[in-house]
Amino acid sequence: MNELLLVDDESKLLRIFQASLTKKGYLVSTAANGQEARRKMAESNAKVVFLDLKLPDATGLDLLQEFSALYPDKVYVIMTAYGDVENAVTAMKTGAFDYIVKPVKLNELIVVIEKAFEFLRMKEENIRLKEQLRDSESSDELLGVSSEMKEIFELVKRVSQTNASILLQGESGTGKTMIAKLLHKYSDRHNRPFVSINCAAIPEQLLESELFGHEKGSFTGAVASRKGKFEAANHGTLFLDEIGEITPAFQAKLLQAVQDKEFMRVGSDEIRNVDVRIITATNRNLKQMVDEGKFREDLYYRLNVIDIYIPPLRERSDDIPLLIGKFLERYRQKMNRSFTLSPDLTQRLMSYSWPGNVRELENVIERAVILCRGEELSVDDFPREIREMKNSFLHKPELDDEKTLPEQLEEIEKQLILKALDEGLGQPASAAKKLGISRQSLLYKMNKYFSKN
């Protein structure tokens, strides 16, 4: 994306600009009149087009109207020695990206060119994200496009047709509930109930009644018989969220229901049978809880026939732009306003650690669109943690002109290794995971770079 077309009848000016811009790395085509400009537009891949307002056989405004219709993916800038407000307004209304007055200085021209290419990059990025969003919405795969999430989606589709119990593990806010709903949607039970319950939100003395139901008069306040979640989910899917929070005493009661699909309502001696697919989720390490005696081993293995781990958002930052686009589109429709985000601000959000994961990102975007005064979100619209992020995450590393490319790449690699070790509290395994390399490879690099220190 570095091709330009300059249309002007001043041949000397064209030669000067063509030579100067070529030295700056641009591919420059020129045209001295409207007819030549039409031919060059058809032949070249120029993305930014400068049109002089006064040409021998046409006007810049006429060409702007013509080219805007034929080549809407290009950016047009009007140049003129007649810098009156009327022409400027007309040019902008016709579709010009900018308007500059001659004589034009080279540095001013380059500023406009860089702005134009930045605009095109943002436009193409928005188109790409909208296409990804549309593709995601068509299949309900709204959690991300990273390699990690693609693997999870493939696993979801493979296991959804089975009746095996599934344990979803991951930090709070990573999207475990949405994964559970996808498992149900892709299963043969999709036309039957999907029943969800948060085990951590219900006191233990009420959880048994919520899951298994109760008979009239079985306890104070039980004025009528009531079905529990197991019966409500019959022939469908039962999703038990925060399963790691239930007490050991209740784990024993849950084991029989999960194992045999049999239970009794509170206050009843009648055994009831159901056909349900069990999906559970937790943000805790159940295997560690088993080792510590806090979670029944037999129940753990009954629930964990298939284990799906959803990584935190900080480990899949490639998903962040798509998720931002999804949330912004939701608020565009809800508030009937067009919200945009600059590349710099998107990069800042991609560099943030997101301890609350996708749920936190959604809340942050909602806050930003509420506080936004115009249509482009500003960093001031975001919480303090994002506004005050260390700039070291946001800038390119400083390069030393006296060092060779391999030497500079080694220096960058050293910095990244030190940063990963620091974040991983000195543990090579954790640092290697952050860097996306094997532990053996990290140890080799540590020995190479730091053994002499």
pLDDT tens, the chain, 453 aa long: 689 999 998 888 888 888 999 988 899 999 999 999 999 998 888 999 999 888 899 888 889 888 988 888 899 998 877 666 577 677 777 788 888 888 888 888 899 999 998 888 888 777 766 655 554 444 444 456 788 888 898 899 899 989 999 999 999 999 899 999 999 998 999 999 999 999 999 988 789 999 999 998 888 878 888 899 999 999 999 999 999 999 988 999 999 899 989 999 999 999 999 999 999 999 999 999 999 999 999 999 999 999 999 999 988 888 888 889 888 888 888 888 888 888 888 888 988 889 999 999 999 999 999 999 888 899 999 999 898 876 544 444 555 666 776 677 777 777 888 877 767 766 777 788 878 777 777 777 777 777 644
Amino acid code (one letter) for 377: L
Tell me which residue of 242, 263, 265, 241 sits closest to 252, measured CA to CA: 263
The C-alpha atoms of residue 387 and residue 65 are separated, in whole angstroms, by 42
Helix or strand (DSSP H, E) at 306:
strand 306-309
- Please spell the DSSP secondary structure of 376-432, one letter per residue: B--GGGS-HHHHT--GGGTSPPP--TTS-HHHHHHHHHHHHHHHHHHHTTT-HHHHH
Strand 166-169, strand 306-309: pairing: parallel
**Domains and their CATH numbers in the chain:** 3-126 (3.40.50.2300), 147-311 (3.40.50.300), 314-393 (1.10.8.60), 405-450 (1.10.10)
- In DSSP terms, which residues pair with 307 in a beta bridge? 167
Computed over its alpha carbons, how large is the radius of gyration of the chain?
31
84 touches 101 (CB < 8 A): no
pTM: 0.59
Tell me which residue of 449, 151, 165 sits closest to 298, measured CA to CA: 165
Per DSSP, 289 falls in state H
Contacts for 248-251: CB closer than 8 Å, 24+ residues apart: 248/294, 248/295, 248/296, 249/204, 250/204, 250/207, 250/208, 251/295, 251/296, 251/299
